[in-house]
Structure 1
Amino acid sequence: MERSALDRALLTDRLDWNLLRTFLTIVHERSLSRAAVRLHITQPAVSLALRRLEEHLGHTLIERRGSNFRLTRAGEEVLRIATDVYGSVARLGAELAEQQDEVSGLLRLLTVSRIHSGVYDECLAAFHRQHPRVTLQVDVMRSTEIADALAQKAGGVGLSLYRQPGRQSGDGLEHMLFLRQRYAIFCGRHHRLFGRTGLAIADLLAEHFVSFSSDQLGDVLAPLAVFRDQHGFSGQIVATSPSLDEIRRLVFAGYGIGCLPEHIVADDVAQQRLWRLPPEEGVADIDMYLLWNPERRQTPAEAAFIEHFRHYVARYSLMERLGESVNAPLAALRAPTA
């Protein structure tokens, strides 16, 4: 089908726009079952939505044979059109709310949970002082979901872990390094290794592990999985979660040892809820980024936030950004002027 014909088919008033959203989710998850989980609906409902879209367009969009998943030529074209359409719809409300005289409207910020940084807190405070008419909506999501939403132009700005920055990732996102978090191995008060000194990595290899859902090869926390593989850890992964707070809770409860950011659990170590394990230098540095899609037309609120964040945060070193608080007079001196 020619591009113009597909455009006409997709723009007809008989098309249910939710079918495009379901199709986008199927493509990005590369699985009907995972798309169903992402959309909080049943797998038969996802299959029905795909079939309805294909029937409406008169073309097969996805070919599936066993575990193989491939877009047809028509599917690739629908993906291109649907990405543009969905991105435009997602920012429609924000653009209608903007004022001409000053920066205002909705700023939707997609972020991972538990960003532990006094610099970030002061950055938000300074932005609000400069742009009090901007309404902030903070949506907490998983890193992969944030990258997908930005790639689909369904969100303007994100704070997230991000795999392979600076390489040809295919999503076209721009990024700025925000935090560099050192992950180390810990056990909890209820674990048999708690309080023991003189341990070596060899003493940990058979221990059960508590793992992040994204701690696997190819995902954002892949360095943690690589570390375990390289050192020959043989214990079972007995608990997983996408939530840092839940991983911390499970490690404390003694389910197994696990990797956590040093600066976030420093108080737990001081209060003897958690115990630091080898290696002394930690496991890996995991970076967090400010992300945005340069191909998406930013709203004034989004553009103002990106500009403000980049200039404000750049005034602090990576180590300073991990601190719980920022010296108020120093923050005032370093803050960009309006």
Structure 2
Amino acid sequence: MELRQLEYFVAVAEEAGFTRAAARLHVAQPGVSAQIRQLERELGQELFDRSGRSVRLTPVGKAVLPYARAALAAVVGAREVVDEMSGLLRGHVTMGGVSVPSVLDLPGLLAGFHRRHPGVEISLVELDPVSLVEAVVAGRVDLGLAGVGGPLPPGLDAQIVIDQPLVVVVPHDDKLAQGTSVDLADLRDRPLIAAPTGTGLRTVLENACAALGFRPRVAFEASEPYVLAQFAARGLGVAVLPESAAAGADVHVLTLDRPRLRGQMALMWRAEGPTSPAATAFIAHARRLLPSH
């Protein structure tokens, strides 16, 4: 059994086809098929069901897949450890985010790590909050950046990098613009502008409304907090957002008094520890450069 055979096997399983796997591996399709057949002969069992339009794993293939992935990961890890001990860090790290506020210099963070470790490839992906947490816990993403609205799920550690009061913003001709503060209960019947369901900001708002016995009437959603302020400026509703997101917008800002809510954003990583030396260095770099609250 060769590592190349395991690599081809994993690629076909993930791509659900020999042609797509060959394109991903940059090799000829007949070569992939031949290596998989050789692997099946060595194991004495078929790994793929080729009877349909798409290639599917057999029960034996499903059982073998995690071991094949583990073997390939072990080889990558061994190479990275050797590189690290030689003073040369290599590998690949992935950071995921829901949205990144301008108060965090993410481009500078990534560029700084790249300068220090040019042998490490960096990927940045945008995911919805639920998918991001799942990806970090599973190890598909090394580091996540997302709002938090409650306790962290099991399997994660975090560093709070943003902690701000939530405020209410309205257009200057709104009746609320005559005051300087507002209670959340006063917004019971008002159309609201808020972050999407599942985000930390939305969770904080919904939990606070539930404690007061009502559900928020959210008319408009946007993942970028500053966009919420722009919607409010156009008279589309009352926006609830972090204090910094209201800066520079042509709106009237009100303090949210009862209850006083806060919006937090956290840097998240696996509690078990990163999966590679490159990920270890990347997490340490991010924690050092970003603020801690």
Query: If the length of structure 1 is used for normalisation, what is the TM-score?
Result: 0.56
Tell me which residue corresponds to 2:232.
251
Tell me which residue corresponds to 1:17.
14
Tell me which residue corresponds to 1:63.
none
SS state of the match for residue 204, structure 2? helix
* Counterpart-to-counterpart distance in 1, 2:10 and 2:90: 32
Deviations 1:289-335 (A, max 9, x none): 2212244752332110112223344xx563xxxxxxxxxxxxxxxxx
* Counterpart-to-counterpart distance in 1, 2:177 and 2:106: 34
Contact 1:107 1:301 survives alignment (8 Å) = yes
Distance 1:198 1:109, change over 3 A: closer
Structure 2 residue 283 is matched with structure 1 residue 306: yes
Aligned partner letter, 1:292? W
Contact 2:181 2:257 survives alignment (8 Å) = no
* Counterpart-to-counterpart distance in 2, 1:248 and 1:87: 46
Correspondence for 1:274 among 228, 233, 251: 251
Correspondence for 1:158 among 144, 154, 158: 144
Distance 1:200 1:13, change over 3 A: closer
Structure 2 residue 179 is matched with structure 1 residue 197: yes
* Counterpart-to-counterpart distance in 1, 2:64 and 2:201: 28
Matches within 5 A, 1:113-132: 113-117=99-103, 123-124=109-110, 126-132=112-118
Matches within 5 A, 1:42-81: 56-57=58-59
* Counterpart-to-counterpart distance in 2, 1:141 and 1:86: 27
* Counterpart-to-counterpart distance in 2, 1:96 and 1:240: 46
Query: If the length of structure 2 is used for normalisation, what is the TM-score?
Result: 0.63
* CA shift for structure 1 position 134: 2.9
Instruction: Give aligned pairs, total.
Output: 243
* CA shift for structure 1 position 237: 2.3
Deviations 1:263-297 (A, max 9, x none): 132222xxxx1221242487422322221224475
* Counterpart-to-counterpart distance in 2, 1:90 and 1:224: 44
Distance 1:228 1:278, change over 3 A: farther
Contact 1:214 1:222 survives alignment (8 Å) = yes
* CA shift for structure 1 position 110: 0.7
SS state of the match for residue 302, structure 1? helix
Structure 2 residue 183 is matched with structure 1 residue 206: no
* Counterpart-to-counterpart distance in 2, 1:134 and 1:181: 34
Tell me which residue corresponds to 2:40.
none
Aligned partner letter, 1:156? D
Tell me which residue corresponds to 1:284.
261
* Counterpart-to-counterpart distance in 2, 1:132 and 1:153: 22
- Identity %, equivalent residues: 18
Tell me which residue corresponds to 2:91.
105
Contact 1:110 1:155 survives alignment (8 Å) = yes
* CA shift for structure 1 position 145: 1.8
* CA shift for structure 1 position 261: 0.9
Tell me which residue corresponds to 1:238.
219
Aligned partner letter, 1:193? K
* Counterpart-to-counterpart distance in 1, 2:72 and 2:131: 15
* CA shift for structure 1 position 246: 4.2
Larger radius of gyration: 2
Contact 1:103 1:134 survives alignment (8 Å) = yes
Contact 1:94 1:106 survives alignment (8 Å) = no
Deviations 1:68-111 (A, max 9, x none): xxxxxxxxxx8x998x6798699799879968241233321112
